[in-house]
């Protein structure tokens, strides 16, 4: 997966999306600010329509729901990529090197095999007609006693050399490997367990198979191994001994810790026997990892997008927290002088935001499960989406939300109500001219903007000198 940065259409679409995004992002604040009345702004008297409050809350819910979905996606994608790259393939891919048979190496294969076998640090040598990590061909022309593959199942044929099973460390379920000690192996077949299930033999060793018009016998059954990516199921495999026309790749199994010195000697042998071609080699484990390059790119992108979404969500929540604290600053001041604790005020300011986050989690959880379950359908071998993935994402979002809100909530709760700027926002216009009865006495209107069940419309609150603690509070008339 790569970006088409060399195509004009890519840059045209990118520029168009950037312009549209900037236009939409700037339109809302522009229209909102232009709709405000200057007189009311200068007076500090702003009343917001309930629809605008719901819009802000809706945006917060949307942002955090998107964050939950991306966090769940990030975890599931990481687990799946890790699973397919670390799952037991059925053979030993580490320290298994292969290089192409080309030029004079084809005609000099026997000499090549002899020289390689004498190199210290090499465990086994063999060859095969295909790439060991991606055997892609298939055939239907295989028959056996009481059955045929025509129109039913495609077998994957591959030509191999002697000691093939030993070289790549396959596990034998029945029978044996190809060996020079058995001249009749030239007409023998190795099959995997999936092929055995397809054929249906209960005792397959010595039974006859016909492929390409040639009869042969089954000499061994290997346990299933992955010879393609995990995007496909393991298919029936039939391996035949390739000795007359050797082509494909040489397989070399190197002892651990001796890779560097062995590769240097392999390169020397390659130059000696095939000077017209550069010696190139591949590690099976590295080539297998490349089969999931697109998934690795998706995994990295999901990490970036999840981080960006969380950051933007926290910014939006912080903005809403600041706005709410400003709108309720008089209420916070009265609660403080009436004895409310800092923790109580923090809880008061935080609970509404936590409700929004919980709603976003409830909305995002089924969407995230559906999206990731659909993505995993491309993998016959896949991880299960466990409950802890959603639990972790939910707890992480809740923690980040609380962490974001706590700054503004604690700041508002710790502020001294006596030292607050004397704004008249939220106070009826008929009481703007009221003044404190004394230096430590405040007259406050109650009821219309403080969400408590006070019976009196006015309260006189006496503040203890040098603190923000109320020592007396009593209802009073306007006079």
DSSP state of 430: G
Output the pLDDT for position 5.
55
Q: For residues 121 and 266, what is the distance between their CA atoms, to the nearest angstrom?
A: 11
Judged by DSSP in three states, 465 sits in coil
Q: Would residue 339 be called left, alpha or beta, if left means φ above 0 and alpha means ψ between -120 and 50 degrees?
A: left
Q: For residues 328 and 349, what is the distance between their CA atoms, to the nearest angstrom?
A: 9
pLDDT (tens digit, 9 = 90+) per residue, 200-233?
888 889 888 888 778 889 999 999 988 888 888 8
pTM of the full structure: 0.69
Judged by DSSP in three states, 47 sits in coil
pLDDT < 50 stretches in the chain: 1-2, 421-439, 446-457, 471, 478-479
Sequence-ordered list of residues with C-beta below 8 angstroms from that of 381, at least 6 positions apart, any chain: 83, 84, 87, 230
Output the pLDDT for position 203.
87
Q: Which DSSP helix (H) or strand (E) runs through 142?
A: strand 142-144
Q: Please, are residues 112 and 257 in contact by the beta-carbon 8 Å criterion? A: no
Q: For residues 144 and 229, what is the distance between their CA atoms, to the nearest angstrom?
A: 29
CA-CA-CA-CA torsion sign (61, 66, 72, 75) = negative
Q: For residues 22 and 27, what is the distance between their CA atoms, to the nearest angstrom?
A: 8
Output the pLDDT for position 14.
74
Q: For residues 300 and 105, what is the distance between their CA atoms, to the nearest angstrom?
A: 41
């Amino acid at each position: 997966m790569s970006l088409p940065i060399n195509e004009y259409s890519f840059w045209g679409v990118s520029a168009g999306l950037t312009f549209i995004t900037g236009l939409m992002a700037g339109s809302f604040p522009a229209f909102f600010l232009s709709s405000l009345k200057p007189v009311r702004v200068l007076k500090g008297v702003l009343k917001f329509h309930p629809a605008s409050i719901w819009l802000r809350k809706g945006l917060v819910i949307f942002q955090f729901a998107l964050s939950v979905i991306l966090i769940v996606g990030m975890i599931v994608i990481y687990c799946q990529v890790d699973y397919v790259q670390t799952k037991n393939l059925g053979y030993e891919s580490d320290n298994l090197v292969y290089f192409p048979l080309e030029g004079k190496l084809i005609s000099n294969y026997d000499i090549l095999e002899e020289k390689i076998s004498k190199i210290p640090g090499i465990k086994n040598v063999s060859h095969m007609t295909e790439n060991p990590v991606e055997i892609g061909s298939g055939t239907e022309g295989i028959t056996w006693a009481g059955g045929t593959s025509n129109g039913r199942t495609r077998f994957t044929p591959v030509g191999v050399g002697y000691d093939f099973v030993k070289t790549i460390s396959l596990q034998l379920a029945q029978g044996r490997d190809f060996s020079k000690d058995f001249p009749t192996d030239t007409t023998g077949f190795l099959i995997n367990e999936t092929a055995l299930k397809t054929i249906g033999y209960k005792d397959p060793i010595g039974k006859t198979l016909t492929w390409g018009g040639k009869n042969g016998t089954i000499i061994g059954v290997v346990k299933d191994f992955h010879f393609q990516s995990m995007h496909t199921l393991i298919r029936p495999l039939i391996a035949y001994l390739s000795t007359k026309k050797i082509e494909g790749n040489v397989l070399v199994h190197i002892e651990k810790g001796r890779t560097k010195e062995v590769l240097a000697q392999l390169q020397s042998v390659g130059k000696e026997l095939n000077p017209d071609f550069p010696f190139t080699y591949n590690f099976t484990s590295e080539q297998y990892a490349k089969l999931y390059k697109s998934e690795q790119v998706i995994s990295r992108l999901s990490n970036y997008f999840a981080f960006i979404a969380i950051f933007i969500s926290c910014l939006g929540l912080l903005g809403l927290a600041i706005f709410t604290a400003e709108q309720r600053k008089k209420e916070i001041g009265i609660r403080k002088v009436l004895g409310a604790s800092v923790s109580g005020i923090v809880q008061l300011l935080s609970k509404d935001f936590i409700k929004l986050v919980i709603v976003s989690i409830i909305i995002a959880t089924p969407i995230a499960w559906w999206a990731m379950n659909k993505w995993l359908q491309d993998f016959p071998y896949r991880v299960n989406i466990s409950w802890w993935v959603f639990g972790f994402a939910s707890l992480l979002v809740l923690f980040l939300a609380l962490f974001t809100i706590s700054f503004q909530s604690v700041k508002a709760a710790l502020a001294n109500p006596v030292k607050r700027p004397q704004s008249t926002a939220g106070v009826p216009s008929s009481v703007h001219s009221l003044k404190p009865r004394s230096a430590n006495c405040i007259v406050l209107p109650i009821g219309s903007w403080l969400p408590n069940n006070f019976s009196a419309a006015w309260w006189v609150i006496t503040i203890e000198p040098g603190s923000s603690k109320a020592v007396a509070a009593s209802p009073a008339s306007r006079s």
